Amino acid sequence: MTKQVVILGGGTGGTLGANRLRRELPDDVHLTVVDQDDSHVYQPGLLFVPFGLAHPEDIVRSRRRQLHSGIDYRQESIDHVDLETQTVHLADGSTLAYDLLIVATGAVLTPEETPGLDGPGWMEKVFTFYSPEGAAALEGALASFREGRLVVNVVDMPIKCPVAPLEFCFLADWYFRERKVRADIDLVYVTPLDGAFTKPVASQRLAGLLQEKDIELVTEFNTGEVDGEAGRLVGYDEREVPFDLGVVIPLHSGADYVGRSPGLGDDLNFVPVDEHTLQSKAAPNVFAIGDATNVPASKAGSVTHFEGEVLVENVKRFLAGEDLDASYDGHANCFIETGFHKALLIDFNYETEPLPGHFPASVGMPLLKESRMNHLGKLMFQWFYWHALLPGRDIPGIGADMPSAGKQTETAH
Amino acid sequence: MPTRTIAGATVDVNDEGFFTEPEQWNEDIATELAAESGIDELTPDHWKVLEFMRSEYFEKGTGPTVRVLGKTSGVTVKELYQLFPKGPAKMAAKIAGIPKPRGCI
Ligand SMILES: Cc1cc2nc3c(=O)[nH]c(=O)nc-3n(C[C@H](O)[C@H](O)[C@H](O)COP(=O)(O)OP(=O)(O)OC[C@H]3O[C@@H](n4cnc5c(N)ncnc54)[C@H](O)[C@@H]3O)c2cc1C
């Protein structure tokens, strides 16, 4: 009997999951991917747009064309999922019945949740580079910014790619130095965390880099209001941070339809799953991948890629009535652009924080240390994204399990 | 694992003072911990938040973030900061005797 597997979302996780599944599942399993549009954005490229290092049109491709043959594509907005009748309801009133459902609808930005953020000054004096429109608008604002205070603020976690706002600071420092206006510009990084990053060793190294580059660090700041007109962030504790140009990373939530699907999501519309098997806590025939889940790992493309292996294995096992494979270890791997053609690399999982050393083994790319090789790695990643990651090929030498071989577990603080 | 004595009871805490065994908590302990962090009197609103923190912890395995507290506890984020000025999620978790909320990364 034909089985229906429906994949919600045709972004990073939905695409790589569908392509891998198509290769591994027999023809009597029917695969359908649903997404609301046909523009697949290479999101890591958004970081480079404000600095004129990438153009919005260069980082977008057709979603449909990233899916291999034998996969149906439905372009329609999802309205809600009914777990009980195993049905997806689409915005045009049509429905899709499923035997197994994969939620891969990522995270959305919710600037409206922060008072004032999308009010006066939004996209004039306050920008974000987390959306294609925002990144493009910010390019114009940066080009004409010659003096004053540029403040980069993360409203609260979780956000996609938690290192991206730091990378933005490093690149801004470089950009303004190249333009010989750095002396007249104050750069400030304002975070709700108690350090530059969540994990102690990396946090220290990154704080050191901020200091070297003369970027002020304001910690434990919980933004309660953004006053775009007056140019200030107001904290819940009544602290204020003035700015001439604000770059704000808005709050993130899971997709809205998750909230309209009884039982599927948590209070922020993320989908609670077992952190090792990716099976939903709400129903055994529902899985989730990528930014849509509530797993305590970074919301990153690398995480989505590593989860893909476990997801595909578990979908196969579930359809065959076998026990699931509880092997996802929270592996994440991120390049951090630091400007001047250099980058740093971090590699970590649920248990092990990012440590110095080399990746994937003792002869390899330097970890937690600036190098040109890492910068080239980051640039090459875009090619890998379209040609290896989305088609669902393994990247040679980079597996789902975090390698420990090259890591220095004893570190001098 | 360090321990400490609060309101006459010996409890297990981590190096930052968060409980590791929430069952060891009681209301006298909460009152004393609150006083230590500068809250002289726990009002009914404080208790509402503390009880909410504990029930969320027992249900979900981690304490809620400030944002989730603001959405679900019936107390706004602004009020939460008035009640627990040093950062509601952490301060309330400590007084409520639950482990440090898992920060997202
Ligand atoms: C600025 C920035 C920089 C980043 N840099 C990096 C980096 O350097 N390295 C890295 O690893 N990761 C990076 N990331 C993160 C990475 O892009 C994401 O983690 C990854 O794309 C997540 O994949 P996903 O499949 O979960 O979600 P997405 O790829 O976002 O896909 C979700 C899909 O669901 C669809 N959808 C949502 N709701 C509905 C609905 N109601 N109906 C129909 N369709 C719907 C959307 O249209 C979308 O296509 C960055 C992200 C940003 C924003």
Per-residue pLDDT of chain A (413 residues; tens, 9 = 90+): 899 999 999 999 999 999 999 999 999 999 999 999 999 999 999 999 999 999 999 999 999 999 999 999 999 999 999 999 999 999 999 999 999 999 999 999 999 999 999 999 999 999 999 999 999 999 999 999 999 999 999 999 999 999 999 999 999 999 999 999 999 999 999 999 989 998 888 899 999 999 999 999 999 899 999 999 999 999 998 899 999 999 999 999 999 999 999 999 999 999 999 999 999 999 999 999 999 999 999 999 999 999 999 999 999 999 999 999 989 999 999 899 999 999 999 999 988 888 888 888 887 888 888 888 888 877 888 998 999 999 998 766 667 788 887 888 754 33
Q: Which residues line ligand 1 (CB under 6 A)?
A: A 9-14, 34-37, 43-44, 46-47, 77-78, 104-106, 129-130, 160-161, 164, 255, 257, 290-292, 299-302, 304, 334
In angstroms, the CA A407 to CA B9 distance is 42
Residues A105/A9, Cβ–Cβ less than 8 Å: yes
What pLDDT score does A397 carry?
64
What integer is the mean pLDDT of B9-26? Answer: 92
| ipTM of the prediction | 0.81
What pLDDT score does A357 carry?
87
Nearest to A353 by CA among A176, A140, A199, A148: A199
In angstroms, the CA A49 to CA A392 distance is 27
In angstroms, the CA A179 to CA A166 distance is 20
Does pLDDT of B36 surpass 80?
A: yes
Per the structure block, which two tokens stand in for B31? Answer: 């009152």
**Strand duo A342-348 + A185-190: pairing:** unpaired
Residue A112 CB burial class (10 angstroms; 0-12, 13-18, ≥19):
exposed
Estimate the crossing angle of helix B44-60 against helix B88-96, to 10 degrees.
80
Per the structure block, which two tokens stand in for A113? Answer: 């949740």
Q: Which residues contact B73 (CB under 8 A, 6 or more apart)?
A: B48, B49, B52, B64, B80
* Interface contact flag, B77 A193, Cβ < 8 Å: no
Residues A90/A6, Cβ–Cβ less than 8 Å: no
Residue B101's CB is within 10 A of a number of other CB atoms, namely: 21
Which residues of B sit within 8 Å Cβ distance of A? 64-68, 71-72, 77-78, 80-81, 85, 87, 102-105
Among the partner-chain residues B72, B80, B81, the one whose CB lies closest to the CB of A267 is: B72
Looking at the whole model, is its pTM more than 0.90? yes
What pLDDT score does A123 carry?
95
* Nearest-neighbour CA in chain A from B89: distance (Å): 11
Beta bridge partners, A40, equal A61
Q: Which residues contact A403 (CB under 8 A, 6 or more apart)?
A: A347, A359, A360, A361
Q: Spelled out in words, what is the top-level CATH class assigned to the domain A111-251?
A: alpha beta
What pLDDT score does A412 carry?
39
* Interface contact flag, B103 A156, Cβ < 8 Å: no
What pLDDT score does B103 carry?
57
Residues A325/A314, Cβ–Cβ less than 8 Å: yes
Distance A14 CA to ligand 1 centre (A): 10
User: Does domain B3-96 match CATH 1.10.10.370?
Assistant: yes
Q: Which of B8, B15, B104, B105 is catalytic?
A: B104
Angle at A54 between CA A111 and CA A290, to 5 degrees: 50
Numbered ranges of CATH 3.50.50.60 in chain A? 3-106+255-319, 111-251
What integer is the mean pLDDT of B10-32? Answer: 93
Nearest to A31 by CA among A312, A256, A320, A386: A312
What pLDDT score does B105 carry?
40
Q: Which residue has the tokens 């027999």?
A: A26
Q: A142 phi and psi, to 5 degrees?
A: -65, -40
Q: Identify the helix (H) or strand (E) that includes residue A365.
A: strand A365-367
Q: What is the DSSP string of A69-84?
A: TTEEEEES-EEEEETT
pLDDT, tens digit, 9 for 90 and up, residues B40-77: 999 999 999 999 999 999 988 888 888 888 988 889 98
Q: Which residue has the tokens 């740093």?
A: A344
Among the partner-chain residues A157, A267, A297, the one whose CB lies closest to the CB of B103 is: A157
What pLDDT score does A366 carry?
85
Task: Give whole-number Cα distances, A113 to A116, A157, A224, A231, A313, in Å.
Answer: 9, 13, 10, 18, 38
Residue A362 CB burial class (10 angstroms; 0-12, 13-18, ≥19):
exposed
Does pLDDT of B104 surpass 50?
A: no
What pLDDT score does A413 carry?
39
In angstroms, the CA A302 to CA B12 distance is 37
Nearest to A346 by CA among A295, A399, A406, A387: A406
Q: Whose CA is nearest to atom 19 of ligand 1?
A: A300
In angstroms, the CA A364 to CA A345 distance is 11
Q: Spelled out in words, what is the top-level CATH class assigned to the domain A3-106+255-319?
A: alpha beta
For the question of residue B104 being annotated catalytic, the response is yes
Nearest to A302 by CA among A9, A31, A16: A16
